[in-house]
Amino acid sequence: MIYLDNAATTPVRREVLEAMWPYLTQDFGNASSHHSVGDRARLALKDARERVAAVLRCKTGEVIFTSGGTEADNLALKGIALANPRGRHIVTTPIEHEAVLAACDYLQRHHGFEITHVPVDAYGSIRMEAYAAALRADTTVCTVMLANNEVGTVQPVAELAKLAHGRGIPFHTDAVQAGGALSLEATALGVDALSLSGHKLGAPKGVGMLFLKSRVPIEPLLHGGGQERGRRSGTENVAGAVGFARALELAEAERAAAVPHLMAMRDELIRGVLAEVPGAILSGHPKERLPGNASFCFPGTSGESILLQLEERGIVCSSGSACAAGSDEPSHVLVAMGVPPEVAQTAVRFTLNSSITAEQVAETVRAVRDAARAVVSLRFVIP
Ligand code: PLP
């Protein structure tokens, strides 16, 4: 099997599991307990926080461990919006992950916020003039993802954050897909909040984090024992935090070597698929895209049928985001990019990891060619 769905999730790395193991077994303590078992857990949590802060180049107090990317996005948006008295207006894009879009929708329905979805162009890049025009005196928070999970387009987040700051507006970015691929230095990006998820990086599902710049007021979502400096109550997931920190460190350490290889493999896959499959269209930006993302539409076929055909040939990938998979709705990302719904329904996404080889890329290209042919010929047999 060739697994090309790393944007959906990744396997837990051995080094990560080994780092976590002591905190699941002999050092299982509650980090809030005042005895030696608790002390060991507390120290491990502190160490994990320091390691994460070193990668993000932020202060340790700016790292809030969460249960994953969805919680980090919800905490950032609801937390900043509800704590910030500037007004009731949020600026975002229509191509954000559901965690952001649905959190905005909640703020609109229950708290009277107005949401501006700044349009994107055909490559999925935000329209800068429309973004600048959307910023208002009553805008409470801006949120634009660093890299899109479906089509891989990377947004100019540093520039967007700067424009928001010029108007005194805090800026959040969902960087869940960017770990190991782009720099996560929060200070260089100039953002006030940044979400990450462990399971996209070789840590287990159920752990993630929110970077939140000091002095940005936040209303917690979870009330209780006051853990994470009162910003996220609940007994700390010590082993999860340790695993997350190890995975993030490894991803960052390997990034410089991994990215050129991933880009070469991605470009070879794109070239091969466009050459071998008549009518295939690359989705997303040709250059400003994640190094491991190759997404296509295959007009005249069906994305789900191609997936099935590919799986029979040993290739595992997805028809967009894992959340949208299985639903008949065309991808909201592709629709926002102006792709007609019937073409959006033919989307297939390949997301590579750094262990991919040239042979595997060649095998994938052959499988895509054969899968597309099989789907087209089946369409003639079964109209
Ligand atoms: N944001 C983006 C861009 C994602 O791709 C995902 C997961 O697919 C999430 C947020 C949600 O993260 P989690 O699965 O950790 O809740």
Assign 321 a pLDDT band (cuts: 50, 70, 90): low
* Residue that finishes a domain, picked among 250, 275, 299: 250
Q: Distance from the CA of 225 to the center of ligand 1, in angstroms?
A: 26
Neighbouring-strand partners of residue 142 = 91, 171
Residue 295 located in a structural domain: yes
Assign 189 a pLDDT band (cuts: 50, 70, 90): very high
Q: Is 145 in the pocket of ligand 1 (CB under 6 A)?
A: yes
> Once rounded to an integer, what is the mean pLDDT over residues 245-269?
98
Residue 323 annotated among the catalytic residues of the structure: yes
Residue 94 located in a structural domain: yes
* Residue that finishes a domain, picked among 199, 221, 250: 250
Residues 214 and 136 in one domain: yes
Q: Cα separation of 190 and 343, whole Å?
A: 37
Residues 220 and 330 in one domain: no
Residue 322 has pLDDT above 90, yes or no: no
* In the chain, % of residues over pLDDT 90: 94
Residues 241 and 276 in one domain: no
Residues 175 and 26 in one domain: yes
Residue 219 lies in domain: 14-250
- Spatial CB neighbours of 375, under 8 Å, sequence gap ≥ 6: 298, 301, 302, 305, 306, 309
* Mean of the per-residue pLDDT values of the chain: 96
Residue 8 located in a structural domain: no
Q: What is the pLDDT of residues 124-138, one digit of tens each?
A: 999 999 999 999 999
Read off the CATH number of the domain in which 265 is found: 3.90.1150.10
**Closest atom of ligand 1 to CA, residue 147:** 3
Residues 336 and 191 in one domain: no
Residues 124 and 261 in one domain: no
Q: Distance from the CA of 176 to the center of ligand 1, in angstroms?
A: 6
Cβ pair 232, 42 in contact under 8 A:
no
Residues 265 and 214 in one domain: no
Q: Is 208 in the pocket of ligand 1 (CB under 6 A)?
A: yes
Residues 231 and 369 in one domain: no
Q: How many structural domains is the chain composed of?
A: 2
* Residue that finishes a domain, picked among 232, 250, 268: 250
